[in-house]
């Protein structure tokens, strides 16, 4: 079953000779890297939306070193437990988590607004349907998805409700209050704890919270690894430059990652 939806007329897309087409003859070619761009011009708000190439490369370097592997493993185990067939990863980025998710499902779609991120992701795993697209119009058909995942990404609630099957699941991963606390202390004059529970409040009208585990790990970074971590986060442009420079001069930095995972079920 093809899951993709035409972003212009919202009809089903089918793949033939490396081109996705709908019944109205709107067509979208698969790029040589292996992804399809369904982010149509009328939905764009900037020429190159999403993460910068520098941020994407920093994230690839940091994540491929395995520092967030405990979270990746926890996500994969949860997907296995839920016995998911069709999965949509919203904000898949350069594909670190999506690549691991694919092994547990029949069909996996990864979507991100940043074309440069999807280009990198598409080289990882040819069994994922990689899509450049927007959460404002998720590029999949109504009632087609067993699980939507949003790891550190926006949560377009109305669109998620549209694409999820009845009793489908939503997995949200967001920083827990203590996530990278010592790094944030080094970057900012005042550190505000993350408030993950706000997502529960936002979603409670249409989703039932069924699980809320926290995944934690402690690791030590050298200078290059710390620079990559900062560069892949919003702190890269929010932190004071002099504080960032001072922190990045440390030989070694020990940090604690704390991820809040929420599993919701559509009411």
34-266 CATH fold: Rossmann fold (3.40.50)
Q: Give pLDDT tens digits for 49-60.
A: 578 889 999 999
Tokens at 170, concatenated = 């939503």
Point out which residues pair with 249 in neighbouring strands: none
22 marked among binding-site residues:
yes
The residue written with tokens 């009809």 in the block is: 11
108 has binding-site annotation: no
Q: Which of 39-48, 101-110, 120-129, 206-215 has the lowest average pLDDT?
A: 39-48
| Chain Cα centroid distance, residue 105 | 17
What SS3 state is found at 112?
A: strand
Find the length of the chain: 267
Across 150-158, average pLDDT = 97
Q: What average pLDDT does the structure give for the chain?
A: 95
Q: How far is CA 193 from the centre of its chain?
A: 22
Enter the tokens of residue 188: 């900012």
Q: Which two tokens stand for residue 82?
A: 């839920």
Query: What token pair was written down for 145?
Result: 């998805």
- Mean pLDDT computed over 59-78: 98
- Under 8 Å CB-to-CB from 183, ≥6 apart: which residues? 226, 229, 230, 235, 247, 253, 255
Mean pLDDT of 216-236: 95
26 assigned ligand-binding residue: yes
pTM equals 0.95
Answer whether residue 15 shows pLDDT above 90: yes
State what percent of residues in the chain have pLDDT above 70: 96
Is pLDDT larger for residue 47 or for residue 139? 139
- What confidence score (pLDDT) does residue 246 get? 95
Q: 34 near 123, Cβ under 8 Å?
A: yes
d(CA 267, CA 243): 46
68 known member of a binding site = yes
Is residue 43 pLDDT above 90, yes or no?
no
At 42, the pLDDT band (50, 70, 90 cuts) reads: low
> Region 180-190: what's the mean pLDDT?
95
| Average pLDDT score over residue span 12-17 | 96
Tokens coding 229: 């971590």
9 is in an annotated binding site: yes
Q: What is the pLDDT of residues 28-38, one digit of tens each?
A: 999 999 999 99
Residue 152: which region, alpha, beta or left (left: phi > 0; alpha: psi -120 to 50)?
left
pLDDT tens figures, 111-141: 999 999 999 999 999 999 999 999 999 999 9
> Is 95 annotated as ligand-binding?
yes
Identify the pLDDT of residue 52: 87
CB contact set of 81 (below 8 Å; sequence gap of 6+): none
Q: How far apart are CA 68 and CA 65, in angstroms?
A: 8
Greatest alpha-carbon pair distance for the chain in Å reads 59
What is the structure's pLDDT at 51?
Answer: 81
Per domain, the residue ranges of the chain are 34-266
Interval 83-98 mean pLDDT? 98
Whole-number pLDDT of residue 48:
58
DSSP 146: E
pLDDT digits (tens, 9 = 90+) for 193-216: 899 999 999 999 999 999 999 999
């Amino acid at each position: 079953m093809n899951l993709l939806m035409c972003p212009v007329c919202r009809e089903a897309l089918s793949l033939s000779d490396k081109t996705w087409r709908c019944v109205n003859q709107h067509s979208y070619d698969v790029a040589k890297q292996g992804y399809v761009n369904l982010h149509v011009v009328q939905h764009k708000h900037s020429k190159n939306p999403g993460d910068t190439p520098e941020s994407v490369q920093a994230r690839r370097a940091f994540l491929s070193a395995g520092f967030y592997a405990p979270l990746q493993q926890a996500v994969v185990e949860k997907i296995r437990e839920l016995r998911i067939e069709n999965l949509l990863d919203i904000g898949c980025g350069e594909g670190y988590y999506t690549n691991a998710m694919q092994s547990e499902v029949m069909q996996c779609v990864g979507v991100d607004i940043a074309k440069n991120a999807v280009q990198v992701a598409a080289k990882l795993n040819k069994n994922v349907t990689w899509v450049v697209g927007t959460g404002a119009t998720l590029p999949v058909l109504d009632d087609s998805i067993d699980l939507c995942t949003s790891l550190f990404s926006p949560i377009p609630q109305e669109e998620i409700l549209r694409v999820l099957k009845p009793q489908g699941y939503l997995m949200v991963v967001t920083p827990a209050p203590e996530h990278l606390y010592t790094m944030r202390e080094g970057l900012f004059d005042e550190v505000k704890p993350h408030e993950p529970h706000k997502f529960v409040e936002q979603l409670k009208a249409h989703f039932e919270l069924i699980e809320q585990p926290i995944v934690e790990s402690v690791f030590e970074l050298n200078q290059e690894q710390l620079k990559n971590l900062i560069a892949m986060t919003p702190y890269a442009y929010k932190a004071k430059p002099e504080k960032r420079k001072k922190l990045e001069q440390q030989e070694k930095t020990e940090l604690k990652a704390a991820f809040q995972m929420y599993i919701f079920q559509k009411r």
